[in-house]
Each structure stands twice: as C-alpha cells, then as structure tokens.
C-alpha cells in the first residue's frame, strides 16, 4: 500500500458536480466542493413537458475545474502533491454526439445552442418511440436475443434509442456526428488528452447496462441488427470497440493541459468512468446478495452476485446484468425507479404554484413576500412529513401510483403514468403526501419481489443517498413496506466515495477495489427495523397498489 496518498472522487449528478479529496489510508474526506450547473439551473435547453432534458458540456467542464481547484485551495500543498488518482462517475445513460476528435458538437460555435448537440440526460424520454421500435425489432429478430441481459426490455433512457432519435430529428447533427459517447466515458477521455473518437475507452458499466454490449455477443450487437432496425444507424456499431473496461482499470494519466488547469501532477492516474449509482454501491460497501439502494431524485437498486453463482440466470424486467459493472468478476444487477425524490419535488412545486403566481404578478418586489416564499420552499416538505406521521394508517387511505416519470423497473415502461385515488372532500395535502411516500416505497417493494422471484436471494438491504440520510419518516415507511431491516451507510457522499475507492485502486494504492472498500469504507450507522404492527396493513395496501397499477 502507498502511504500518505490522496485521491479525488468526482460525482456528476443531475443538478451539480461534487468532488471529494480523500485520504486513502482511512477514507476520510479532507476537502469537498460542489458546483451547480449554471445553464441547467436556469432551465436552459430543456422542455419538461416534452420530457426533453439536455445538459451543455460546458456545465461539466467548468464544474470539474471549479470543484478540483476549490478542494485544493482547502488543503496544504503537501496534500495536493500527494494526489495520485482521480476517478469519475456520472449519470447514465447520458450520451452526446461528438466529432472525429471526440469533441461534443455543442462545443463548436455552430452548435453551441443546439440541444440535440448536447448531452441527452438520463431522464430524457424523448426517444420513447425509438425504444418501442427497438423492443419490437429485437423480438422479431431471427437470431441472438440482444435484450436478454437488459431484462428483455429496452428503455427510452438508454444509448441506442437516444442516438436514433437525435439522428431522426436533427439533420445538422446527423451530418456532423462521428461518434456517440457516454458522459462517463467522455470525461476520462477528455482528462487524458484523447484526440480521436476511436480512442475513447468504453466502460463496461454504461456499455453493458445501456449499450447492449456483452462478452457473450463478442461485443456490441452487429451492424446488421441496427441497420435492419433503421438504416440511419448503419455503421455506428462498427465504430465501437469490442473491448470494454471496468472501473478498477486506468484510462490513462492526466494530460499536461489538464494537469496545469487543475493544479495537479501529470502522474495522476485517471480511472475508467462509471455510472453514479454503481459507484455509490461501492462507496456504500456493497456485499454479494445485499440490495444496495441509492435513494435520491430517482433510485438505483443494485446487487452483486459471484459470476459462478449466476448459472446463466437471466433476471427479467430489470435494467441489466453485467459482469464487472460494479465489482470486477461479479455480475452486477441493476434495477430502479424513475422517480422517488422527484415525486415529492413535483408535489412541492404543485403546492407552491399559487405563491409563485402571486410573486410573478406582483408589480413591485416585496421583500417580506420573497422571504416568506423562501421560508415556504424550505419548510413545506418538513411540515408535510410532520403532519403525515400523525395520520392513522388504515387500508382505506388515499392510494397513489409513483410512475410520474414512467416506470423503470420492473418491466420498463416510460409511458406509464402516476395516479392518486380515493380522493374526497376530507383529503388534504398531508394525506396526499403520505400516499405518495407509500407509493414510492411500494415501487421499491415491486423491485425486491421481482429480483427474488427470479432466483436471486437477498440477504440484506443497504440504503444510500440523501433521502436515506435525511428522512427518517420515509425510511421507516420503506422498512415497514419491505418488511426488512434497512442499514443506512454513514457516508453522505457514497457515490463520490466510491469513485475515490476506484481511484485508489487504479493508482495502485490498493490491489483491488475490495481492499480499497475495506480500508476506506465509513461503515453503517442507523438501522431501520420494520414495525410488526403496521406490516400487515402495508401488505394489504401494497396489493391494492399492484391492482391499481394494472389499470393505470
């Protein structure tokens, strides 16, 4: 083990990028910085009503430079000089059209304001039609089942559906695109000085779960498969490498340009990129057969299974099973909900609408009104939670479906819609909020049941992320609904910590990511235990949820 070494873990989330500078000997964070994406925060290049969510590459580039420099400003020069590795996680699937040099088209002046030339964020559902077509095409294809490792259903949130949609709707992008690159793959390419798109090292995490890569296929599906779907895709599969890499492998060294921009050494090793929730599972010290739930705006549920234990099992209706996508030499299973915290955020915005209208029509800025609005923003979910806890649990309460952003798992369906039933004149905001909390927990139970019904026994549940850390009420309801104890990891930044563990591995501080986890893990704190009194009631309400979902 290398002594006195430090690494960066960089976590690109939906709204901001965070970096932590970590002591590899114990996993302690010595500096941290956050950069909210300025263009994204203004709502630029997005159309929520059309489910279009795009992010400008400058948000990512500017953010990286800011968070790394900010961290270095918080520590002595001796620590800066002892940085040996840097790894990155991102949302996914979040791909972008690039030119032959691997530069996103939006970084060229002709495309700088074209949303189709920007990163297509994971939650962008504009390619629903393309995903539906791919599912039908794969079912009719006389040959290999190319959807067998992604649960049998391809999603509009993923790589190929998004590519075809962009090619169809934007002739200028189509005429200039030389490659289609995931955010998680582009960042290491950028930092290591990549100059040609065919030099991009594709991580198995995004390639396997989102891009249909599989060792069993010899790589990505062949060009014939995609060309037969739509000839606009002709040639794209041939541009992709057969080889992929796991996140415990290095992408290269920090380039001279980026070493100077960041204030780091060119000897810093940059790791292969991966998706945020997968990094979070590592930061949360995932173990075989433990369900690791990263709970935030959406959820990502992961399990690792030793390769030899899978015995060619195929888990239907999840987001993928990929060898090495989380831990090398283990099959990573991914599932999740398209909206969890976003469900509560939607309800919050719904309730704030009258106040926002009042502010927008007020002829003069009213300081007291603005102050009251800010206070309302900060406290509304807290107050709703307090009131929801006072409502007696019965089988006849209002009931909701959580698919406000479609359904990711089980059985992906971006067209699925949310619902609230049982409304009456006595229904108030806390009762609706309570039903929404229950719905998100019921969605989590559906995932657990699907994984276990497919022959993967779950030994325990690990919870990570902001909601796990900050909402005892939601976590207790979740434990009651699942009827399982839930252990909450101590780290508030498990995704960034996970990438730091990978950085410690790729830079040679530790021989394996498991060794890095053992040395740098922060352990577990609170455990939520199910309340035996309410478990039977929640089980009955869950069955009502299932029946309601069939008609939604």
Instruction: Please check the confidence at residue 183 and state whether its pLDDT lies above 80.
Output: yes
333 located within any domain? no
| Tokens representing residue 453 in the block | 């019904």
Instruction: Please check the confidence at residue 364 and state whether its pLDDT lies above 80.
Output: no
171 located within any domain? yes
- Residues pairing with 214 in the sheet: 219
**pLDDT tens-digit profile of 308-351?**
998 788 999 888 999 999 999 999 999 999 999 999 999 999 99
For residue 201, what is the DSSP state? P
Question: Residue 292 in contact with residue 278, Cβ under 8 Å?
Answer: no
**Mean pLDDT of all residues belonging to the chain:** 95
Pairing of strands 95-98, 250-253: unpaired
| Tokens representing residue 207 in the block | 């390639």
Instruction: Report the percentage of the chain scoring pLDDT > 90.
Output: 89
First vs last C-alpha separation in the chain: 55
Residue with tokens 């699937």: 93
**Domain co-membership, 457 together with 479:** yes
Number of domains in the chain: 2
Torsion of CA 412, 57, 60, 256, to 10 degrees: 130
**pLDDT tens-digit profile of 269-319?**
999 999 999 999 999 999 999 999 999 888 999 999 999 998 788 999 888
237 located within any domain? yes
| Per-residue confidence band for 367, with pLDDT thresholds at 50, 70 and 90 | confident
| Per-residue confidence band for 1, with pLDDT thresholds at 50, 70 and 90 | low
**pLDDT tens-digit profile of 148-171?**
999 999 999 999 999 999 999 999
**Domain co-membership, 186 together with 271:** yes
Instruction: Please check the confidence at residue 120 and state whether its pLDDT lies above 80.
Output: yes
In terms of average pLDDT, the best of 173-177, 369-373, 402-406, 521-525 is: 173-177
**pLDDT tens-digit profile of 60-115?**
999 999 999 999 999 999 999 999 999 999 998 999 999 999 999 999 999 999 99
Cβ atoms within 10 A of the Cβ of 422, count? 15
Give the whole-angstrom CA distance, residue 125 versus residue 75: 42
Give the sheet arrangement for strand 320-323, strand by strand: 320-323, 330-337, 299-306, 290-295, 460-464, 486-489, 524-528
Of 366 and 184, which is predicted with more confidence? 184
**Domain co-membership, 233 together with 113:** yes
394 located within any domain? yes
306 located within any domain? no
Predicted confidence at residue 366, as pLDDT, reads: 67
**Domain co-membership, 410 together with 515:** no
**Domain co-membership, 366 together with 447:** yes
What is the domain-level CATH number for residue 210? Answer: 3.30.420.40
Give the whole-angstrom CA distance, residue 528 versus residue 294: 16
Stretch 441-450: mean pLDDT: 97
**Domain co-membership, 418 together with 536:** yes
**Domain co-membership, 398 together with 374:** yes
**Domain co-membership, 386 together with 510:** no
pTM of the model: 0.90
324 located within any domain? no
**pLDDT tens-digit profile of 526-545?**
999 999 999 999 999 999 99
Q: Is the peptide bond before 93 cis (omega within 30 degrees of 0)?
A: yes
| Tokens representing residue 140 in the block | 């009719």
232 located within any domain? yes
Instruction: Please check the confidence at residue 552 and state whether its pLDDT lies above 80.
Output: no
Stretch 226-250: mean pLDDT: 96
Instruction: Please check the confidence at residue 249 and state whether its pLDDT lies above 90.
Output: yes
**Which residues form the domain of 443?**
341-490+525-551
Stretch 428-445: mean pLDDT: 98
Stretch 245-253: mean pLDDT: 97
**pLDDT tens-digit profile of 26-35?**
999 999 999 9
**Domain co-membership, 266 together with 372:** no
What is the C-alpha radius of gyration for the chain, rounded to an integer number of angstroms?
Answer: 23
Predicted confidence at residue 214, as pLDDT, reads: 95
**Domain co-membership, 501 together with 395:** no
327 located within any domain? no
Distances (CA, A) of 365 to 187, 371, 374, 377: 42, 11, 14, 18
**Domain co-membership, 33 together with 149:** yes
**Domain co-membership, 100 together with 192:** yes
Task: Report helix, strand or coil for 208.
Answer: helix
């Amino acid at each position: 083990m290398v002594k006195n070494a430090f690494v960066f873990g960089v976590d690109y989330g939906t709204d901001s990028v965070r970096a932590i500078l970590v002591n590899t000997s114990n996993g302690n964070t010595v500096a941290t910085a956050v950069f909210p994406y300025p263009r994204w925060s203004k709502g630029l290049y997005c159309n929520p009503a059309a489910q279009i969510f795009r992010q400008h590459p400058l948000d990512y580039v500017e953010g990286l430079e800011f968070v790394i420099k900010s961290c270095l400003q918080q520590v002595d020069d001796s620590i800066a000089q002892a940085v040996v590795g840097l790894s990155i996680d991102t949302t996914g699937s979040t791909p972008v059209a690039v030119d032959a040099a691997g530069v996103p088209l939006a970084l060229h002046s002709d495309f700088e304001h074209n949303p189709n030339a920007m990163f297509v964020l994971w939650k962008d559902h504009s390619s629903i039609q393309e995903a539906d077509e791919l599912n039908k095409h794969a079912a009719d294809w006389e040959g290999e089942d190319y959807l067998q490792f992604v649960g049998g259903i391809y999603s509009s949130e993923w790589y190929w559906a998004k590519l075809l949609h962009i090619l169809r709707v934007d002739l200028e992008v189509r005429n200039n695109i030389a490659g289609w690159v995931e955010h998680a793959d582009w960042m290491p390419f950028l930092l290591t000085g990549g100059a040609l798109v065919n030099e991009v090292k594709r991580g198995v995490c995004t390639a396997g779960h989102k891009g249909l890569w599989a060792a069993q296929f010899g790589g990505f599906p062949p060009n014939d498969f995609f060309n037969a779907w739509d000839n606009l895709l002709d040639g794209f599969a041939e541009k992709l490498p057969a080889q992929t890499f796991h996140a415990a492998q290095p992408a290269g060294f920090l380039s001279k340009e980026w070493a100077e921009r960041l204030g780091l050494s060119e000897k810093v090793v940059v790791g292969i990129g991966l998706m945020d929730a997968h990094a979070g599972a590592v930061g949360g010290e995932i173990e075989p057969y433990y369900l690791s739930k990263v709970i935030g705006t959406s959820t990502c549920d992961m399990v690792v299974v030793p390769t030899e234990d899978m015995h060619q099992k195929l888990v239907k209706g999840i987001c993928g099973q990929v060898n090495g996508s989380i831990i090398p030499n283990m099959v990573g299973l991914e599932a999740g909900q398209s909206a969890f915290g976003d469900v509560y955020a939607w309800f919050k915005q719904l309730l704030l609408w009258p106040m926002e209208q009042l502010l927008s029509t007020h002829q003069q800025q009213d300081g007291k009104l603005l102050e009251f609005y800010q206070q309302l923003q900060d406290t509304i979910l807290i107050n709703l939670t307090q009131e929801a806890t006072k409502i007696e649990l019965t089988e006849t309460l209002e009931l909701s479906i959580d698919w406000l952003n479609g359904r990711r798992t089980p059985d992906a369906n971006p067209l699925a819609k949310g619902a609230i039933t049982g409304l009456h004149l006595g229904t108030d905001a806390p009762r609706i909020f309570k039903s929404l909390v229950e719905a998100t927990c019921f969605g989590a139970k559906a995932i657990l049941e699907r994984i276990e019904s497919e022959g993967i026994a779950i030994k325990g549940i690990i919870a990570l992320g902001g909601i796990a850390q900050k909402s005892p009420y939601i976590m207790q309801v979740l434990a009651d609904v699942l009827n399982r104890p839930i252990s909450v990891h101590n780290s508030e930044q498990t995704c960034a910590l996970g990438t730091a563990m990978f950085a410690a591995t790729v830079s040679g501080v530790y021989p394996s990511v498991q060794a890095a986890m053992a040395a740098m893990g922060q352990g577990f704190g609170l455990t939520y235990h199910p309340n035996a009194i309410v478990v039977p009631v929640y089980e009955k309400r869950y069955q009502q949820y299932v029946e309601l979902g069939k008609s939604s």
